[in-house]
Amino acid sequence: MNSFSRKAWGPKASRSGAIALVIVPILFAGCGSVEPGKKPIPEVVVADVTQRDVPTYADWIGTAEGFNNASIRPQVKGYLLEIAYHQGSLVEKGSLLFQIDPREFKAQLDSAQGQLGEAKAKLSKTKTHVARYRPLAKQGAISQQELDDAVQNMLSAESGVLSAQAQVEQARLNLGWTQITSPIKGIAGISATQIGDLVGPESLLATVSQLDPIKVNFPITEKAYLNIVRLFGGETGRNQLSKAGPILQLYLADGSLWPDRGTPFVLGRNVDEKTGTILIEGHFPNTSNVLRPGQFARVRVDTGTQKDALLIPQKAVSDIQGKYLVSVVSPENVVEVRSVEVGETVSENWIITKGIKAGERVVVEGIQKVRTGMKVKPVPPQTSQKKSKTKAAMPAPSSGATPGRRSESAEPLKS
C-alpha cells in the first residue's frame, strides 16, 4: 500500500503536502493576531487649520432693471395701421413706433377749424355793431340798453373764439397722437399688439427701456446697512451713497465678471419686515446694451482684509440645524467634535472666527463615522488621493480567478 501510494502520487504530491504544512501554521498564526471583538481604527482625511491675511467680500443677489422704462400707450382710440420700428432694437428719442388711423382725427380737426372761422366772423360782426352804437348812444339816437347788449354780444363772441381755438388745438393734438413716438432713447421691446387691432389709452403697445446705464437692485442685510450708515457718518441721503465711487462688481449667470464696475446710487427708504433687508440701487455702464432688464446679477463688494484669519476647508464644517460643528483631531489622534462660529467664505475655505486654533487638524473626509472620544488614523489629503488612484488603477479579478493570482483565461481590456 505504501509503495502504491508513492507510485501513484509521486514527488509532486510530496511537494504539495510540504507546502500545505508550511501554509497552515501561517494562516493560524495570522488569525491569532486579531483580537476577537476589537474594531479596526477608522481612517479619516484631515487638514491643518491655516492662518493668514485674506481679502473679504460681500455678495448679494440682485436683478437688473432699465434706468428708465417707458410704457408705450396710445392717447387716442383707433385702429392700428403700422408698427414702424424694428422690434427689439435701439430707437432714438422721438422715433415713430406706431401709427393709428388718422382719418377720423383729421376730420375732427377740419370741423374744429371751421367752427373757429365762424366764431371769428361772429366776433368781427359784434365788434362792428359796438363801434357803430357807441356814437349813436352818445347822441341819444339809441338807448343805452341797446349799446350794452351789443357789448355783451361782442364779449360772448370773443369767448366763442377762444373756445373754438381750444377745440382746434385739441383736435390737432389728437391727430398728432395718432403717431406714437418713443419718449426716450432705448431698446424697444416686442409689440404687444398687431396691425388692425383697436387700441386705446388702456392698451399697452410696447415698452422702451433705457439700458445705458442700467440699474441693478439688490437687497442687503440690516447689519450691512448699519455698516453703510457708519461709513457715511450717519448720513445716507443727499446722494451721499454715490460718493463711494465704482466699488460694485457684477457677476452674470454664467459666472463671468462684467468688465465695468458700478456705483451704488440709491438706498431704499425702508427695511422689509419680512426679509429684514433694505434695497440698494447700483448703476453699471452698459454701452453695448448686453445687460437686459430682469437679468440675474450677483453683486460683490470688496470689504477689506481680515488679518490672521483661521481657514479650514468648507467640507470640514457640518451645519446641523443652524449649528456649525467641526471634528478636531488631537495630537493623540482622538476626535473632539466642537461647535464653531463661521465668517465669510474664501474660495473653497471658510473663515472660522471662534472654536479652533491655528495648527490644529480637522476631519475633512469621514466626518460621518467619527464621534467625540473616538481614536482615528489621520491621513493627509495627498495620501488619500494617492490611495484612491491606486485602487482605481488595480484591475478587478475575473470571475473564478483566485484572489492574488491572475487568471490565465483573463484578457486585458481593450479600449
Contact 323, 305 (CB under 8 A): no
Q: Which pLDDT does position 25 carry in this prediction?
A: 45
In the chain, domain spans: 45-54+307-389, 70-98+184-210, 102-177, 211-292
What CATH topology corresponds to 102-177? Helix Hairpins (1.10.287)
What CATH topology corresponds to 45-54+307-389? 2.40.420
Q: Which residue has the cell 491675511?
A: 53
Pick from 224, 216, 222: which is nearest to 56 by CA?
224
CATH of domain 70-98+184-210: 2.40.50.100
What gap in Å lies between CA 287 and CA 57, rounded to an integer? 27
Helix, strand, or coil here: 177?
A: coil
Q: Which pLDDT does position 309 carry in this prediction?
A: 92
Q: Which residue has the cell 446697512?
A: 225
CATH of domain 211-292: 2.40.30.170
pTM, two decimal places: 0.63
Helix, strand, or coil here: 102?
A: coil
What gap in Å lies between CA 182 and CA 194, rounded to an integer? 18
Please give the average pLDDT of every successive group of 10 residues along the chain, which has 415 residues: 45 47 45 58 93 88 95 96 95 96 96 95 93 89 90 94 96 96 96 96 96 94 81 58 85 93 89 91 94 94 86 92 92 94 86 92 92 92 57 44 36 37
Ramachandran bin of 113, using left for φ above 0, alpha for ψ from -120 to 50, beta for the remaining angles: alpha
Q: Which three cell numbers stand for residue 320?
A: 446641523
